[in-house]
Amino acid sequence: MTTLFRRLGRRSLAVGAAVLMLGLVAGALQFSSTARADSEPLCSDAITSAPTGPATVSTAATSDFGNVLVVGSGTYAGCSLYLLTSDQLHALAGSNYACGDAPNAIPGSPACDTVLWPALLTDGAPIAGSGVNPNLLGTVTRTDLPGLPAVQQVTYAGQPLYRFFLDEDVGETEGANLFDPVTSPTGIWYLVNPMRGIPATGPAELQLETAPVARGSDATVLAAGMDQDFSLTGGTFPFPVYTLSGHGRGLGHDGWCNALCSQYWPPVLTSGRPQAVAGVDQHALGTVTRRDGTQQVTYRGKPLYLSINDAVIPPLPYNGAAEGINGAGATTIWGTFNTIPPTH
């Protein structure tokens, strides 16, 4: 069965259409280009050649996420830039970048770093535009971009920067807070705060979600709203949140899930006061500052986490292509992760 998604927008024919082909055993996601309404470049353009000059990184104001990094000059000036949390595994364990040309969760899908999330490349030291800390700019050599020689990708606070293939125009932020099961390993895409290079998440939204527990019976639990601007899922999408009990190996001195642990159990982050949706007690929500300077949401004083086993983009063939609560009661070397019922 084939489902065709077409990106709606000011130039609806100008962006690549996503074609999802589901088979009996596995699926493949392919993207084909459609005719453009005009010859202007789009923020969604794939990378087809090596850079010919230094990239500039600048900032722009958004209504929901505060000031964020954008491309500062050239063809894609003003296009939103993103980081991927699971790219941190490269620094932690020397593994490949999570958004690269390596096999990912959907066999046969286009290259992550040139088509889905085009890497911000530079020929020469990147230039700091207005509002950008030049001391946080850097580069990393990428040899895994298909069809290209070794090239330099721009980093900010050590994190590689990317555009997104569903952002057609300047100011679009479809990739913001996107919990992406396609990268390998799973990670979360965030806009970037220019002050410290930490995620620019906007205020977190906590709500209730009803979904099957490990593909069993349904349960209603506390959840965080993610994927706020992502058109393929229709906007804000809920993911179960978990608390951590016990003090296993690999935890920091503060007992939180840090470093390698946070790659599998990402913290629920917020910029500003977290917001409660109907059914959630606003007074139970709070924040705590993590060692990297990010603000993690707490519920009745307990830090909240997500599980990469819950990441899903319906109807992509991953995690059953449906919402699920797959981390409930998981006992790990870091402790036990538990969901929060609505009456807790």
- pLDDT, residue 249, reads 54
| pLDDT score, position 100 | 83
Q: Are residues 256 and 160 in the same domain?
A: no
Q: Are residues 134 and 258 in the same domain?
A: no
- 9 domain residue, yes or no: no
Beta-bridge mates of residue 211: 219
Q: Is 23 exposed, middle or buried (0-12, 13-18, 19+ CB in 10 A)?
A: exposed
Range of the domain at 168: 38-200
Q: What pLDDT band is residue 23 in, cutting at 50, 70 and 90?
A: very low
Same domain, 80 and 164: yes
For the segment 202-228, the average pLDDT, to the nearest whole number, is 94
Instruction: Work out the pLDDT band at 325, boundaries 50, 70, 90.
Output: very high
Q: Give the whole-number percent of the chain exceeding pLDDT 70.
A: 83
Give the C-alpha separation, 164 to 81, whole Å. Answer: 8
Model's pTM, two decimal places? 0.88
Q: Residue 215's pLDDT band (boundaries 50, 70, 90)?
A: confident
Q: How confident is the model at residue 255 (pLDDT cuts 50, 70, 90)?
A: low
149 prior amide bond cis, ω within 30? no
Site of tokens 């402790």? 335
Q: Is the peptide bond before 315 cis (omega within 30 degrees of 0)?
A: yes
Let me know if residue 89 belongs to a domain: yes
Question: Which of 26-30, 120-124, 256-260 has the lowest average pLDDT?
Answer: 26-30
**Can you give the pLDDT at residue 140?**
95
Same domain as 216, residue 194: no
Residues whose CB is less than 8 angstroms from the CB of residue 337 and which lie 6 or more positions away in sequence, other chains included: 242, 243, 244, 245, 265, 305, 307, 327, 328, 329, 330
* Better-predicted residue by pLDDT, 252 or 163: 163
pLDDT of residue 321: 77
Q: How far is CA 273 from CA 40, 62, 194, 235, 251, in A?
A: 39, 17, 19, 21, 26
* pLDDT tens, position by position, 70-83: 999 999 999 999 99
The percentage of residues in the chain with a pLDDT greater than 90, rounded to a whole number, is 67
Does 344 reside within a domain?
no
Same domain, 66 and 107: yes
Task: Mark which of 165, 184, 200 sits at the end of a domain.
Answer: 200
The answer to whether 129 and 58 are in contact (CB under 8 A) is: yes
> Looking at residue 315, what is its pLDDT?
76
What is the tens place of the pLDDT at every residue in 149-165? 999 999 999 999 999 99
Cβ pair 271, 203 in contact under 8 A: yes
